[in-house]
Structure 1
Amino acid sequence: MKRILVVLALVATLGLTAWTLVNNKKEVEAKIYKPDADQKVGVRTAVAELRNLSQETEFLGSFSPNREIEIRPQAGGQIVSLPIEEGQTIGAGRLIAKLDDEQLRYQIEALQVTLEGYQNDLKRYENLVKGDATPAINVERTQLSIRSTHAQIKQLQKQIANTTITTPFSGIVTEKMVEKGSVVSLGTPIAKVTDISILKLVVQVPEKAINQFRVGQSLSIETEVYPAAHFTGRISMIAAQGDAAHNYPVEITVNNSSANPLRAGMYGSIANSSKVKGQTLSIPRQAIIGSEKQPQVYVIENGKAALRSVAIGATTNEYYEITKGIKVGDQVVTSGQINLQNGTPVSAQ
């Protein structure tokens, strides 16, 4: 009797468990979303059409000065005049600094006295030689002394000229390294002058794009500091040798603007457009789904999404060339593919 009761209890438990599982399954199925087969899915589309494929590539660089120089004296001495200040605009040939030249002038004065004595001696010797009163060699020695003294005077005059230090070109005094009264030696840096009337934009161009540029080519330049302004530059140099990453420096010169003044160190960019292919069937990149080896697109046919396999040719940043799978005028889906299956009704936007 006990065995019968145990069996009955086990059967009842199993039956209750089975009923519970079936009931839970029905509740779960009732909660699962079942799409309406007739409900349309909203998508965005584009038309497959013939277009010239071109690729625009942007290259970023920074501006450098046209010319920059550290002013260094060709003589030594105390600075007695320094009429410059940092940030000052200065013209070509203007005075940067004046060194003390008093001792050099005294030496010239002494040599001029010596020269005058030699010239008087020469006149006397010439008269004496005519009367055979002195050897002709005295005339020759005096002439050599006069020539030597002239050379010494010229040397000192050159040294005096070197005490006047001027700028070789117009620019801005970007650094003053000494003060009036300082004693400097030959080659000591005094100031730095920078010319930014013309600037050089240097960009690094990869090997695959370097043949798109040529010396003398005009390019449009954009800057971050003046986003609404456009500058025109001209390629002045293309490096003959690249770096380890196969990038080649390209130098573009641009005239500075008073309305939108540029400064050395600012960023600038050029955009170069290159033709990838002529008239060819193409679609936006967003239309492609699937893998690289098996690309696919959804085409709208009779209000429904039809999945097509395609073959891709040339590519740009925006478009793919399609060589197989669709034709001109086909409407392809560019957004919303995640909600589509083959045959899904769609509403194109």
Structure 2
Amino acid sequence: MKKTVIIAAALAAALAGSVYMKEQNAADNVPQKRKGGSVSVVVSPVEQTQWQRQVEALGTIKARESVELAAKVTERVAQIHFDDGDSVSKGQLLVTLNHAEQDAKLTAARANLVEQQREYRRIEDLVKTKTIASNELDKIRTGIDVAAAIVAQTEAEVDARYIRAPFAGLLGFRSISTGALVSPGTEISTLDDISVVKLDFPVPERYLNELRPGSSISAMAAAFPGQPFVGTVANIDSRVNPTTRAVVVRAELDNADGKLRPGMLMTLKLIVDERRSTIIPEEAVIPRQNRQYVFVVADGKVVEKQITLGSRQRGWVEVESGLVEGELVITRGAQRVRPGQTVTPRERENFSYQEIS
């Protein structure tokens, strides 16, 4: 019996100790207060700054000009005048196809034209002397026109055997070899003008009224982390996608160093508006139903103010009304205070719960 009493007393003592430790821990976790019951809170000043309303989007790079080089005729490749990845100028010769037959036809056509012109001059002299009728000149003139047309046609056939760059740019991989038989539509290579690139990206239709050619964008590519590429909006598409409810915007970026390539994915920020605005940290906002409030520290006491918010950015919100520059809004500890309560404002968090003497 005595042993049972001793065990019961020990259990009671252990339970009492556990309750004491819980109460002590609870006491240690009481919000930080100064002497006299003043709660310590973290505050941030209301600021006036240059505020940008931005739209974030994903876009795809396209070349300013892009083409797949192909032959116009069926012929064998005689010579290739470029290597993979060459930078070429407008009109530069890239491929020569066999053209011996066309050269021979052109020589014959030109000779026929010269003969027709000579015959015309001879008949013209005879007409002047009234040896033959003047209507003979009309026949010869028709023959000259036909001969000239044949020369032009043959020259075009010869020219089709010389494949040239339609504009300055960067060539892709070569898809043919010397001696290969090519036909219309056979790809020879690709040519892209990437000195300036186009960046196409979708923007929600609600921003349509704020989109303007000339607006600035800043874009980033995964291949070049930390390096922004700056450009301007060149145009806005004439249609809104009925499925996504977005309009495609096209921006242009200078790419003189050739870093950006067609098909690259870029993350970008489009500046749709820029103005002087009042801003506060987003964490200071206290939402209640469809209204927004903040706690302001004035003369050491908490004052509740209703505010009207504008646009948001990461960590910050624009305040359209309700606050003035320099006021101190509570960003930490708002859940522990109430309007009219005396508080001690601090500029940063202190993670110790010890009493401040």
Give the TM-score normalised by the residue count of structure 1.
Answer: 0.73
Return 217-226 or 283-292, whichever deviates more: 217-226
RMSD: 4.4
Counterpart secondary structure, 1:175: coil
Distance 1:153 1:327 in 2: 83
What residue is the counterpart of 1:198 in the other structure? 196
What residue is the counterpart of 1:164 in the other structure? 162
What residue is the counterpart of 2:306 in the other structure? 311
Deviation at 1:35, TM superposition (A): 2.0
Aligned residue among 208, 211, 215 for 2:209: 211
What residue is the counterpart of 1:97 in the other structure? 95
Share of identical aligned residues, percent? 23
The answer to whether the aligner puts 1:30 opposite 2:20 as a matched pair is: yes
The answer to whether the aligner puts 1:233 opposite 2:231 as a matched pair is: yes
Structure 2 residues not aligned, in runs of 5+: 1-7, 34-38, 349-357
Give yes or no for contact 1:312–1:320 (8 Å, CA) kept in 2.
no
Deviation at 1:117, TM superposition (A): 6.8
The answer to whether the aligner puts 1:86 opposite 2:84 as a matched pair is: yes
The 5-angstrom pairing of residues 24-63 of structure 1 reads: 26-33=16-23, 34-35=26-27, 40=33, 43-48=41-46, 55-63=53-61
Corresponding letter in the other structure for 2:67:
I
Distance 1:214 1:234 in 2: 10
User: How many residue pairs are counted as aligned between the two chains?
Assistant: 329
Corresponding letter in the other structure for 2:21:
K
CA 1:233–1:20 in 2, change beyond 3 Å: closer, same or farther?
Answer: same
Distance 2:213 2:259 in 1: 25
Aligned residue among 283, 287, 293 for 1:286: 283
Corresponding letter in the other structure for 2:308:
G
Q: Which has the larger radius of gyration?
A: 1
Distance 2:292 2:345 in 1: 23
What residue is the counterpart of 1:335 in the other structure? 332
Give yes or no for contact 1:299–1:330 (8 Å, CA) kept in 2.
yes
The answer to whether the aligner puts 1:249 opposite 2:237 as a matched pair is: no
Corresponding letter in the other structure for 1:30:
Y
What residue is the counterpart of 1:9 in the other structure? none
Distance 1:314 1:298 in 2: 15
CA 1:241–1:137 in 2, change beyond 3 Å: closer, same or farther?
Answer: closer
Deviation at 1:122, TM superposition (A): 7.0
Give the TM-score normalised by the residue count of structure 2.
Answer: 0.71
Deviation at 1:314, TM superposition (A): 1.6
Return 109-118 or 153-162, whichever deviates more: 109-118
Distance 1:329 1:149 in 2: 89
Distance 2:114 2:273 in 1: 78
